[in-house]
Amino acid sequence: METCASCGTALGAGRFCTHCGQRVDAPAAPAGGGPEQTAVLELDDWRTGTAERPAVPGAAAPRGVGAVPPPLPPVPSYDPAGVDAPRFPLFADQVEPGTLAPPPPDRGRPAWLPWAVGGAVLLLVAVLGGVLLGGGDDDPQAKDTAPSSTDGSTQSRPKGKPTPSHSAAPGESGDVARYATVQVPATAPPNQDVSGNMVRYEGRNMLDGVADTCWRMTGDGTGREITVTLDGPTTLTQVGMINGYAKSAVGAGGGTLDWYHGNRRIMAVEWSFDDGSSYSQTFEDTKAMQTIDIDPVTTRTVTIRLVSVSAPGTGRAARNNTAISDLTLVGTPA
């Protein structure tokens, strides 16, 4: 085993002695450290040589074996009493509710607000009243300018009215108009009454036995014909009608509106039957049913020709309509 020529330490596989740093292939230095050794040492460059060098006078001791580490700083003492408490609790559920801000002061309502609300309510009531009453028979300014229906359709007894469930019994005398159907020349358009209810003026209103419903047409009905078809051949002995709109109402101003005298009234008619016979009838100024007796005549149809019609009435209830409230046809079914 080879040894270092300088310090005698066993050499390893490296190029330098692991103990003194002397190159392995460097010649041994003369004993005593003479000029030869000094020359050899000078050949060792400080930038590449790894040999230990003498300590520099006054230099700090190198870190390594035997160096005394500096003392650790003192550990600060912990005094819980001297530590400030946390600004907020550590847990959210421990947060105490804060004080709510006081509500803003009540500034009060303006003095004019109640008056404004009251005025708006009164205006709304007035508008609604005008809408409900406008165009109806309670409005004295309403005009029946819409054209009448002229389809000439046949109409039976009105729906919603109590009517018999069967025809008049044979051999039993009575008013058979309730079992008939009617064909009219024209029909005035519907409108609203004083209460805001829709009112219709169809021909079947003449067959319902109710005096304050009516058939009416717009304008003068003179010369027009109404045809009533009975439920079967019937022997008639009496005929008649309520010759106008036999209804009154209280107007918006508190006065009475007389629709009988406000609309046109039937002044005279001619009744015709299947056998060709006919009878004339004139009417008085009354809302009651007016009848005439006739010789017994068996017929299935009755034709009523309007011979004379009055002019429209005057005042707030005036209407340019020809009206009949009800018909009566008394006889015995064959």
Q: How many helices (H) and strands (E) does the chain have?
A: 3, 14
What pLDDT tens digit does each residue of the chain (334 aa) get? 578 877 877 777 777 787 787 777 766 555 544 444 444 444 555 566 665 666 655 555 555 555 567 788 777 776 666 656 555 555 555 556 666 777 766 666 667 777 888 888 888 877 665 544 444 554 443 444 344 444 444 444 443 343 443 566 666 889 999 999 999 999 999 998 878 889 999 999 999 999 999 999 999 999 999 999 999 999 999 999 999 999 998 877 778 889 999 999 999 999 999 999 999 999 999 999 999 999 999 999 999 999 999 999 998 889 999 999 999 999 999 8
Domain with CATH 2.60.120.260 in the chain: 137-333
Output b/e per residue, 255-272; b: 16+ Cβ within 10 A.
eebbbbbbbbbbbebebb
The C-alpha atoms of residue 267 and residue 241 are separated, in whole angstroms, by 11
**Structure token pair of residue 89:** 């609790």
* pTM for this prediction: 0.55
Which residues are paired to 324 by β-bridges? Answer: 215
**Structure token pair of residue 56:** 């520099």
Q: Please give the CATH superfamily to which domain 137-333 belongs.
A: Galactose-binding domain-like (2.60.120.260)
Query: Dihedrals φ, ψ of 81, to 5°?
Result: -70, -25
Output b/e per residue, 296-311; b: 16+ Cβ within 10 A.
ebebeebbbbbeebbe
Closest by CA to 256, choosing from 140, 143, 141, 142, is 140
Residue 327, helix vs strand vs coil? strand
